[in-house]
A and B are shown apart, each in its own frame.
Chain A
Amino acid sequence: MSQTRFVGKPIARIDALEKALGKTRFMSDLVFPNMLWGKVLRAAYPHARICRIDTSRSEQLPGVRCVLTHRHVMGLNGFGIVKPDQPVLCHDKVRYVGDAVALVAAETESIAEEALGLIQVDYDPLPVVEDPEEALSEYAPKVHEQGNLLLRTKLQKGDVKQGFTEADVTLEQRYSTQLFEHAFLETEGGIGIYDEESGVITVYCGSQYAFRDQLQIARALDWDPKKIRVCSSPVGGAFGAKDEITIQIYLALLAYYTRCPVKIVLSREESFISHVKRHPMRLDVRLGATKVGELKALDVRILSDTGAYASLGGPVLNLALEGAPGPYRIPHTHLLGRAVYTNNGMSGACRGFGATQSCFAMEITLDMMAEQLRIDPIELRLKNVLRRNDLSAIDHLIFTSVGIEETLKIARDSELWRTRDIRKRDFQPPIFYGVGVASEMQALGLGKGIPDFAGVSIELDRDGSFLLRQGCIEIGQGNLVCFLQMAAEVLQCDIERMRLTHGDTFASPDSGSVTASKSIYLVGNALYLAAKTLLQELERFASETIGEPMRYQECELVGPSRRIPLHELAQTAHSQGRQLKGEGHFVHPTSDKDYGDGLPHCLYSFITQVASVVVDAETGMVKVHDVLSIPDCGRAINPQGVEGQCEGGVVMGMSYALLEKVELQHGRFLTDNFSTYTLPTAADAPLTNKTVIVESMEPTNPFGAKGMAEPPNVAICPAILNAIYDAIGVRIFDIPVTPEKLLAEIERQRKI
């Protein structure tokens, strides 16, 4: 698809105007008649046995409609994307402070709040498991009966011992990353409604996968999934945290027991302590290279603190391992990871999905290697760069598009990189300037062995417009306009001629989750098939009706003697009771290798990021000046959207590098709002934040597209740390690099 009318154009998002006017209704904005307010009683301890739950006083409070505990969960009292080990309502034990113990529905929010305080729960506190290393000791208190190890994964290629003997230089370093909060702005909120007549329970609640929510609700309520409707779009931000169930099952239970619409909106504090975070990890990296900069061997050991429940802790660990070698050819690798249960809140999916942590460690190690070898950091990367049809560092064939080499060349030739030493002269001590670079390879899709597909249907409406039925959710990433751009390309019609559904299990086929930067790729493939099928259907129907061979062209059916506008054909079909539609179903391709638990993947987006920083060596303050993001996302369906992902990802990743950290003490949150957990503002954002897009056309997508939601917030973190080193010659191996930490390190090195 070389000549395009819609694909590749910076067309304004279809949801933007409504959002600018304040008209968009998020799920937490909805109101229904006779609506009650629901509240959740969270655990009083991070680790404790529940001895007794007494709800009698709470039930007697005037205005209270129901108080629910584990006894009211009709189906499986558990949820979790991979394994349902998190209780809907805890019955014997609590494992983190966000655990839910009881639910209340009352006539007003304040009565519901008061009712929570009247629930009597007797606990027997247990020792808190805080340290993931100690959690693995046989003497450690068990978070779960079967032990504290969630998953151990080993990947290897070649002979890593042999590899290190072939290396001239070997570097070894320990890294650690912090617990990190997504900080989406719309807290978990929504409404549950039970319609007794039809038996349908409807849950309006923002999430990243309405169809999986539907199944998790059905399992917990022992309900027919076909009688559970989930509407979960649009969402006021998610970044991975709303992939797992949040309050959906509570809404369904409260609606069922009260027979009334019940609304829950979490406060920022309750949201903060209850939803998943980005995993803190400890990473030990050993990298060997020859004198000329050929990478020979990589050994990585990761210890991941997954917190109280599994959620996606296993897959996150696995992607951290798969992502650890980065976009480089390394003949000998040994990658070992363990994910461990603790009482430190709980962690799960977060933008980058494990690759964020391992890229941080690998890209700093590479920077140190470049220095040791006296090779330019970009040249070192280019020497080892992965190309299409190479074997990866985990020994699987990369048969999809690989644009990393070009991103590195653009970085090398950029003014920001070329002038880095000249610009240093503009600054006088104690102010120092430095530039750093880092690259990343982000696996897209869910990986080998995990169902990963999208279904789409497109219907011709009676007025000659198209209705695109797809189920993916708008969480801010801007996929909806991209879907319409791709469909318009095939259907040869204006975007205004189309409508689409999103995030409603009763309105469309299942199009998969909006995770793993995958919706553009998967839905794009499925809608292409649907649109092609619809065009054939239109031509067949027109030919039958007219009695001569008709071809579709620009919203007209054209035959040897006649031209019929599409709206006329639509009316004819409608009058005959014919629904003209096309369906498309696409299954994600997979790797020829199978390492289990979703490994490996087979489709990757890439990015190289260059960042300049200004460091004040007297205060330890770091200001990120200029950032250049060079993503390879395949064909950019909407370049403005790609820029938006890059700019936003940069600021989030900058903050991961320098500012944000969730503080816990004995399993309790010391940071649970935006006063104690500060976020970057417009005043903190880089002075320039530019994007240059590389489009390696992806052969397994008809539009050439891949995805670009995660990578921009990944490589930026090590790029900034490498820039700090370039500025002042100080390396920090644990993030965030707060001014206090940097100053202490500067002092320490001065003394040496």
Chain B
Amino acid sequence: MPDQVTIECIVNGKQVRTSIPSGMLLTELLRDVLGLTGTKVACGKGECGACTVLLDDEPVNACLMLAAQVNGHSIVTIEGLASDNEATALQQAFVEEGAIQCGYCTPGMILAAEALLRRKPEPSEEEIREGISGNLCRCTGYTKIIQAVQKAGVLRMRQKA
């Protein structure tokens, strides 16, 4: 039997305490244990960004982390970004701009963009391209994703003002 470890963390604002095998990946904790299948796995080795989640506000590839490493930390997945099912301005911008096609990269892409906008509320186009360059999308060609992030940035600044 693999070693079990008990971890405590906050996932999407809720306290989670669970006993897991020490070798369990963060993606497995999220998808298989907590049923949060919005976090996708497309390469399993940190190449594509589909599993991007926020760890204490920073984007990380969940497929490269052990679940045990998030002990004492806070995780936000795509399911936890919106409150009460109300899409955030960023999610709404992805919908309106046509930035979503197959949608498999979308959760990771939105979380990478969210992290960028938290770090840099008014990013230039080049900063957006750089900020999401760890996330692969095969469908959209990125144009509408970049536009959606720009639009959300502007909306968020207005909301703050």
Chain A contact residues, CB within 8 Å of chain B: 10, 12-13, 15-17, 19-26, 29, 31, 182-187, 234-237, 239, 267-268, 475-478, 640-641, 643-644, 646-652, 673-675, 679, 681-683, 685, 689
- Nearest B residue to A238, CB-CB: B102
A476 pairs with B101, CB closer than 8 A? yes
B37 pairs with A236, CB closer than 8 A? no
A contact residues around B72 at 8 Å (CB): none
- The 8 A CB mask of B135-154 against A (1 = contact, 0 = none) is 11111111111100000000
A contact residues around B85 at 8 Å (CB): 21
B139 pairs with A648, CB closer than 8 A? yes
A contact residues around B32 at 8 Å (CB): 31
The range of chain B's interface size is: 35 or more
B102 pairs with A476, CB closer than 8 A? yes
B contact residues around A20 at 8 Å (CB): 87, 91-92, 94-95, 100, 103, 106, 110
Question: What are 28 A-B residue pairs whose CB atoms fall within 8 Å in the complex?
Answer: A12-B98, A16-B103, A17-B87, A20-B87, A20-B92, A20-B106, A21-B78, A21-B79, A21-B85, A22-B39, A22-B107, A183-B136, A187-B42, A235-B102, A237-B101, A239-B138, A268-B45, A476-B103, A673-B47, A674-B136, A675-B45, A675-B47, A679-B138, A681-B133, A683-B129, A683-B133, A685-B146, A689-B141
Which of B42, B94, B101, B141 is in CB contact (< 8 Å) with A268?
B42
- Nearest A residue to B95, CB-CB: A16
User: Closest 6 A-B residue pairs measured CB to CB?
Assistant: A22-B38, A476-B102, A22-B78, A236-B104, A19-B103, A674-B47
A contact residues around B139 at 8 Å (CB): 237, 476, 644, 648
Q: Which of A185, A648, A649 has the most CB of B within 10 A?
A: A185
B contact residues around A236 at 8 Å (CB): 40, 42, 102-104
Distance (whole angstroms) from the CB of A324 to the closest CB of chain B:
27
B contact residues around A646 at 8 Å (CB): 141
Q: Which of A16, A646, A675 has the most CB of B within 10 A?
A: A16
**Extra contacts besides A20-B94, A22-B38 (17): CB < 8 Å:** A16-B98, A19-B103, A20-B87, A31-B32, A182-B138, A185-B40, A234-B102, A235-B102, A267-B44, A644-B98, A644-B101, A644-B144, A652-B138, A652-B141, A674-B48, A675-B47, A683-B130
Distance (whole angstroms) from the CB of A30 to the closest CB of chain B:
9
* A184 to B105 alpha-carbon distance, docked (Å): 10
- Nearest A residue to B130, CB-CB: A683
Distance (whole angstroms) from the CB of B74 to the closest CB of chain A:
17
B contact residues around A187 at 8 Å (CB): 42
Q: Which of B85, B103, B137 has the most CB of A within 10 A?
A: B103
- Nearest B residue to A640, CB-CB: B98
B window 72-99: CB within 8 A of A? 77-79, 81-82, 85, 87, 91-92, 94-96, 98
| B155 CB-CB contact with A under 8 Å | no
| B26 CB-CB contact with A under 8 Å | no
Q: Which of A31, A476, A673 has the most CB of B within 10 A?
A: A476
B38 pairs with A685, CB closer than 8 A? no
* A673 to B136 alpha-carbon distance, docked (Å): 13
| B132 CB-CB contact with A under 8 Å | yes
A contact residues around B79 at 8 Å (CB): 21-23
Classify the secondary structure of A's interface with B: loop
B140 pairs with A648, CB closer than 8 A? yes
* A477 to B134 alpha-carbon distance, docked (Å): 23
A16 pairs with B100, CB closer than 8 A? yes
- Nearest A residue to B39, CB-CB: A22
Which of B37, B98, B145 is in CB contact (< 8 Å) with A13?
B98
A185 pairs with B140, CB closer than 8 A? no
| B43 CB-CB contact with A under 8 Å | yes
A644 pairs with B140, CB closer than 8 A? yes
Which of B45, B50, B98 is in CB contact (< 8 Å) with A643?
B98
Distance (whole angstroms) from the CB of A303 to the closest CB of chain B:
28
B contact residues around A237 at 8 Å (CB): 101-102, 104, 138-139
* A673 to B43 alpha-carbon distance, docked (Å): 7
A contact residues around B94 at 8 Å (CB): 16, 20
| B128 CB-CB contact with A under 8 Å | yes
Distance (whole angstroms) from the CB of B84 to the closest CB of chain A:
11
Which of B50, B82, B132 is in CB contact (< 8 Å) with A682?
B132
* A682 to B129 alpha-carbon distance, docked (Å): 5
A contact residues around B133 at 8 Å (CB): 681-683
* A22 to B141 alpha-carbon distance, docked (Å): 21
Distance (whole angstroms) from the CB of A133 to the closest CB of chain B:
32
A contact residues around B143 at 8 Å (CB): 647, 685, 689
B window 25-69: CB within 8 A of A? 31-32, 35-40, 42-45, 47-48, 50
B136 pairs with A19, CB closer than 8 A? no
A682 pairs with B128, CB closer than 8 A? yes
Distance (whole angstroms) from the CB of A674 to the closest CB of chain B:
4
B142 pairs with A13, CB closer than 8 A? no
Distance (whole angstroms) from the CB of A269 to the closest CB of chain B:
9
B contact residues around A185 at 8 Å (CB): 40, 42, 48, 50, 102, 104-105, 136-138
* A166 to B148 alpha-carbon distance, docked (Å): 55
Distance (whole angstroms) from the CB of B61 to the closest CB of chain A:
12
- Nearest A residue to B90, CB-CB: A20
A contact residues around B129 at 8 Å (CB): 681-683, 685
Taking A22-B107, A681-B136, A689-B141 as contacts, is the C-beta distance between A12 and B95 under 8 angstroms?
A: yes
- Nearest A residue to B106, CB-CB: A19
Taking A20-B87, A650-B141 as contacts, is the C-beta distance between A25 and B37 under 8 angstroms?
A: yes
* A31 to B50 alpha-carbon distance, docked (Å): 20
